[in-house]
Chain A
């Protein structure tokens, strides 16, 4: 069966520090991968998605970047965090034959 892993679960980082969040999927090949951000009490905002290795589409220009170095690995990064980067970050995957997404357990990022 397919599983998705996200880590860390929580993270507290100072303003100006770098960020690296990792997401991996098991049990499937060539998944579509997504990064979402959710502000407290709000909906889900799509940040990046990827349909293959090295292919990244950015939905919202901001202080973040994404990379997909391997088929089932998706990384969200920042060189210098801002206070406004705080939020709940969710990774998700899907297949071309499946319109729905499966989400990871999320990372709670607090920038202080």
Chain B
């Protein structure tokens, strides 16, 4: 089932703004988290991941923050561009036997020029 949820279904921002997409997860045993970007009509694409032994990880224009105390994950996109418009999913996984990724419901990010 889905144990990962998102606070905001739609986020509208202006080009050049910073965007923050939030995600709450319920399984405290999860130790690996991923953000995916899905453009319309395409499969999800990996953006960035983070393991539970980290609080923050940075990529190109993106930063993922993990707060294990409150089981919260966020994706920050700097200088948001129209090409960033897509649905963003968080996903969690855990070690220990075979497990599968559990996806959140997704947040639509709309970037206007």
- A, B co-complexed: yes
Query: Which residue from chain B places its CB closest to the CB of A44 in the assembled complex?
Result: B103
Take A42-B105, A43-B106, A46-B100 as given contacts and tell me if A103 and B43 are in contact as well, using a CB distance cutoff of 8 Å. Answer: yes
The number of chain B residues touching the other chain, given as a range, is 20 to 34
**CB of A3, distance to nearest CB on chain B (Å):** 12
Query: Which residue from chain B places its CB closest to the CB of A103 in the assembled complex?
Result: B43
A84 to B69, CA, bound (A): 39
B21 located at the interface, meaning its Cβ lies under 8 Å from any Cβ of chain A in the complex: no
A44 to B100, CA, bound (A): 12
The number of chain A residues touching the other chain, given as a range, is 20 to 34
Q: Say whether A90 contacts B49, CB under 8 Å.
A: no
A74 located at the interface, meaning its Cβ lies under 8 Å from any Cβ of chain B in the complex: no
A101 to B105, CA, bound (A): 17
Q: Which of B1-46 contact A (CB under 8 A)?
A: 2, 32, 34, 36, 41-46
- Which of B41, B43, B49, B89 lies in contact with A100, CB distance below 8 A? B49
B74 located at the interface, meaning its Cβ lies under 8 Å from any Cβ of chain A in the complex: no
- Which of B89, B100, B105 lies in contact with A34, CB distance below 8 A? B100
Query: What chain B residues lie within 8 Å of A42 (beta carbons)?
Result: 105-106
Query: What chain A residues lie within 8 Å of B49 (beta carbons)?
Result: 99-100
Query: What chain A residues lie within 8 Å of B42 (beta carbons)?
Result: 105-106
Q: Say whether A49 contacts B100, CB under 8 Å.
A: yes
Query: What chain A residues lie within 8 Å of B43 (beta carbons)?
Result: 6, 90, 92, 103-106
Query: Which residue from chain B places its CB closest to the CB of A34 in the assembled complex?
Result: B100
Q: Say whether B46 contacts A102, CB under 8 Å.
A: yes
Q: Say whether B44 contacts A51, CB under 8 Å.
A: no
Give 7 new A-B contacts, CB below 8 A, not counting A100-B93, A103-B36.
A6-B43, A43-B104, A90-B43, A99-B34, A99-B95, A100-B32, A104-B43
5 A-B pairs with least C-beta separation: A103-B43, A43-B105, A99-B32, A44-B103, A99-B93
